[in-house]
Amino acid sequence: MKLFRVASAARRTAYVVTNDHAQNDSSVVQQVCHQRWKIEQFHREVKQVTGLEKCQCRLARIVRNHIGCAMLVWIRLEQVAYQTGQTIYQVKYRGLADFLRQQLKAPHIPMVIA
């Protein structure tokens, strides 16, 4: 195991441990950690904003379809977030809030009390 001390811009120190004994360059380790953080961020976002983990299907094909649809939703939310300068979470919840306001003003399905 190798331990690298990486100084950040905010006068903080981060420590990175690797099992790659050939690794001697802390900048490469820092770059790999940055890439891994992006992957972690993607996994968190895709689970939180698309409902990826809520699939209760058992058939592999249906699970793959659900994952594919979740990825398409995430891509679209990411595009809108980039275009509007918002976070992906703001885009998701703004859309839901707009929909709820519209439905409260003029419901698509009228409530009939018999």
Distance, CA of 41 to CA of 63 (rounded, Å):
22
Distance, CA of 90 to CA of 77 (rounded, Å):
10
Mention every residue, 6+ apart, whose C-beta is less than 8 A from residue 21: 2
Instruction: Specify the pLDDT at position 97.
Output: 85
Global pTM value: 0.65
11: left (phi over 0), alpha (psi -120 to 50) or beta: left
pLDDT at position 114 over 70: no
pLDDT per residue over 24-82, tens digit each?
777 787 788 788 889 999 999 999 889 888 888 889 999 999 999 999 989 998 998 99
